[in-house]
Each structure stands twice: as structure tokens, then as C-alpha cells.
Amino acid sequence: MITGKTLVAGVVGRPVAHSLSPVLHNAWLATAGIDGVYVAFAPDAMGLERLANGFRGGAIRGVNVTIPFKEAALKIADRASPLAKAAGAANLLIFDRDGKITADNTDGAGLLGALAVQAPTWDVHNGPVTVLGAGGAARGAVAALLAAGAPKVWVLNRTLAKADAIAKSLGSRVLPLPYAHAASALQQTTAVINATSAGLSGDGALTLPLELTHPSTVVMDMVYKPLETPFLAQARALGRPTVDGLEMLIRQAIPSFEAFYGARPPSDTDVRALALKVLNP
């Protein structure tokens, strides 16, 4: 039941109608019996700041932020966590009672959480990691992997200058590499993480010689629509352990839920099954 005390939070993106976040958060709220609601907002291209300014002082508790607003979200915040600063982007804004906006980035927690759940024997400390892409998601992934203790992270991107920029801001453990030289990284890496939008809803898939990787190399795709991207299908056919983008989405939502509603999501709600029903009606 919605009451006068209902805690309101949501997600801001454009487009946002396809977002699975309302499905996850509202299912957790219902099971936990929390008087709260989670809704979607789609401001126009310049509208994030106006929307966020309207919520200052706690008109609503906070919002998750998705494409294309993650970098703008960090810029409008008054305070930011070290991970959001390192990622150069925020996927979580909290509207504090003092009128300030605090930015955080839980995508890194989502990435590491998904690896822990679906590839439990993989250890970030054990060797180099390869990240494909150099957009906002890749930058966040690299920052989180470094903070978790990855000894070295190769960043492969079509536009090499963007990979160079990540190395420049995140330090000497980051090594930019063109796709043409992927073989040397693939032969040594313990995990390959696709943080490009290739493979999204049937878009041009990545073609990478995954057969060069060690049989224990974990292959992860952040894209979850389709759940089995051509990239993950290639890895599965080679027998590599795989991690999907839906698990990352669920794991990044957990700290967001805690920040909005002050409680851990109930563990007995199968939000993955619910999300799969929405993805494959």
C-alpha cells in the first residue's frame, strides 16, 4: 500500500522504459514489507540537473542513473565516493536532508559480485584481467578491479585514445591495447570482461579469438539483452566459465536498495527469475 510515509526512489535514464531496475526493487520492497516504491524517470537530454535539483533536500530518497546520464550525474553531485570519482561516473545519487547530493558508483560492486556468484573460484589477485571497451562501464570496471587488487588490467578499445585516457587517469597497472594485439593479452588473462555495447539486442557482435585463452579463463559480458550474447555463446562453446550481465545488474542493485530504504534486500526473493520472465515473456 502507498501511504503518506512511502519512501520513493527510482531510476533516471533515456530511454528508461526497458529498465529492469523497477522490477528488482519493487519485488524486494514487497517481500520485505517496506513502505516504499521505485519508479522510472526519463528527462530530456538536458533535464537531469533540473530533475535532481528538484529532489534536493530529500523530496525523494535517491535515484539510480543509467545511460546517458552517468557522467553528468557525477558532475552535478556535491560529494562523491572514491569509486565514483575513479570511475568518472555515478549510477547512484542520494538526496541528503542537508540539500546536498551524494554520488556513488555501485557498478563495480555489481561486477565483482557477479563474478563471485557465477565464477566463485576466480580470484582477482591471481593474474591480469582484460576489459573490452573504454566507455563509462569499462572505466568503472577497471577502477573496481584495481581497487579489488587486480595486478594488471588490459583495456582494449576500437578508439585507442579512450583506453589511453583510462590508463592516464587510473595509473600504471592499466595497459591500453588495440584489438589487433589482443592475442598477447588473451593468452595470459584470467578473465575477459565485455564492457562494450557490442552484442546488445543483436547489434554487431565482438569477434575475438577466445580459443587462445586458458581453459580456466572466465568470460563475462555486461550486456544482458540477450542474456546469452554471441560473445558468451562463443565462450560456452569453448567450455570457458561464463558470467552474465543480469547477475551484474542484480548485484549493483543491492547496495542501491540499502542506500534508498535502509535495509538489505530480502534474500528469499528470486529477482533473477522475475527479471528473466520480463526479458523473455
Which of 129, 264, 119 has its CA nearest to residue 195? 129
Grid cell listed for 59: 523530496
User: Of 10, 73, 107, 191, which one interacts with ligand NAP (CB under 6 A)?
Assistant: 107
CA 146 from centre of chain? 16
Candidate segments 79-87, 156-164, 208-216, 260-268, binder of ligand NAP by CB under 6 A: 156-164
Grid cell listed for 142: 577497471
The active-site residue, picked from 5, 70, 75, 162, is 70
- 70 labelled catalytic: yes
Taking the CA atoms of 67, 71, 77 and 82 in sequence, report the sign of the dihedral they define: positive
CA atoms within 13 A on the CB side of 215: 1
201 binds ligand NAP (CB under 6 A): no
204 binds ligand NAP (CB under 6 A): yes
Candidate segments 21-29, 51-59, 143-151, 155-163, binder of ligand NAP by CB under 6 A: 155-163
Q: Which is nearer to ligand NAP, 108 or 241 (CB)?
A: 108
Contact 130, 187 (CB under 8 A): no
156 binds ligand NAP (CB under 6 A): no
Angle among Cα 274, 275, 278 to the nearest 5 degrees reads 95
Q: Which is nearer to ligand NAP, 7 or 205 (CB)?
A: 205
**Total site size for ligand NAP, rule CB under 6 A:** 27
User: Of 67, 116, 212, 276, which one interacts with ligand NAP (CB under 6 A)?
Assistant: 67
Contact 195, 174 (CB under 8 A): no
b/e per residue 220-259 (b: at least 16 CB within 10 A): bbbbbebbebbbbebbeeeebbbbbbbbbbbbbbbbbbeb
User: Of 197, 212, 227, 266, which one interacts with ligand NAP (CB under 6 A)?
Assistant: 197
Candidate segments 74-82, 165-173, 198-206, 260-268, binder of ligand NAP by CB under 6 A: 198-206
Residues 18-57 that bind ligand NAP (CB under 6 A): none
10 binds ligand NAP (CB under 6 A): no
Return residues touching ligand NAP (CB under 6 A). 67, 107, 110, 133-138, 157-159, 162, 195-198, 200, 204, 206, 222-224, 245, 248-249, 252
